[in-house]
Amino acid sequence: MPSDAGKKAYVVAMVIQVIYTGMYVVSKAALDGGMNTFVFIFYRQAAATLLLVPLAILLERRNAPPMSLWLFTKIFMYALLGSTVSMNLHNLSLKYTSATVASATSNSIPVITFLFAVLLHLEAIKLRASSGAAKLVGVALCVGGVLVIALYAGPPLSPLNHHRAFAGHAHAGGGNKQGQWMKGTFLMLLANVTWSLWIVLQARLLKEYPNKLLATALQCLLSTAQSLALAAAATGGKRDAWRLRLDVGLVAVAYSGFVVTGVSFYLQAWCIERRGPVFLAMSNPLGLLLTVFCSSFFLGEVVHLGSVLGGALLVAGLYSVLWGKSKELPPPSSAPASSAVICTVKQVCVTSNDVMNMDKEDEVKLEEKRIKLDSQV
């Protein structure tokens, strides 16, 4: 029933936020325990590669599109931007700040992605319309939120648990020097900028190389090689930095590589396919609340008022941009409300009842329409 499908989408969105909350907390615990940030990303990407590459070979080896040298170069550069650079910046900033800041600033990703889409003429801002004004206000609120987190600490909020569940040196937000905290916040913003640019470029890449699993697996494999070179340069041949022990560092690598990459990426694709990217983005603030609670309880992290206020501004900016975007969407069709809707990336929609009754000729016609629409875009 549609109501059950709707409930399932809400549950999946909550599970996704729980998974990312766990990633922020265990990653922060591993870095506080002394794990090298660059080595961590290498092991994470290697674990993800071990998961994705066999799946891609097993499931998609017969459907692999042809690849030119120029296309391979593009994929190499996208892997460098979206995985290697973005993830290393993220972990480096997490070392200087807190899990709460990482979760709060993630709300800026949809807004930054929207800005890149405007710059690349994939989106437009109607300044005289309420939707355009809402988008501009959302961008301003996100910028204000980042500045508040970076420049204003405010009074500390007492942690829920004074006994840390994970051993390691206390590295909470309140204990950082102001210079490190500011540097970490802006590094986190830069990580989100590179990730947002990768999202926009990825949409173009999938037009040239439409096999999502193979494209993801190849980028993950290339990022592993890039991260290995970067980590080798950063550690300077110190063997101790590469040693994995039976501690939270190993848990963080396995969790990030297998659970985040394997489980959450699939759940996100499922959720976006059924309810759209806006629905998933609107669940981001739940992840912030969960991260504040879990980082305080498990890490004994001291959350400052500035982080809470900055996070609130980022959430408000996110919703403002999403509201403006929703106002520009075309009105729904006259299909019955009980029919589930399946939307492609280019907003070509058909009801689930139509899909069940569709024969081969209809599928060919629909594919021709999609190709025409892609060529117009």
Report residue 259 CA to chain centroid gap: 14
**Residues of the chain below pLDDT 50:** 1-2, 169-176, 333-362, 364, 369, 371-377
Output the pLDDT for position 2: 46
Which letter, b or e, does each residue of 84-100 get, where b requires 16 or more Cβ atoms within 10 Å of its Cβ? bbbbbbbbbbbbbbbbb
Output the pLDDT for position 47: 93
Output the pLDDT for position 45: 93
Output the pLDDT for position 163: 53
> What gap in Å lies between CA 15 and CA 23, rounded to an integer?
12
Output the pLDDT for position 126: 80
pTM for this one? 0.76
Output the pLDDT for position 1: 43
- Of 44, 92, 24, which Cα lies nearest the Cα of 228? 44
> What gap in Å lies between CA 336 and CA 141, rounded to an integer?
38
- Residue pair 211/62 in contact (Cβ under 8 Å)? The answer is no
> What gap in Å lies between CA 349 and CA 291, rounded to an integer?
36
Output the pLDDT for position 228: 95
Number of neighbouring beta carbons within 10 Å of residue 293: 15
Q: Assign 3-class secondary structure to 183-206.
A: HHHHHHHHHHHHHHHHHHHHHHHH
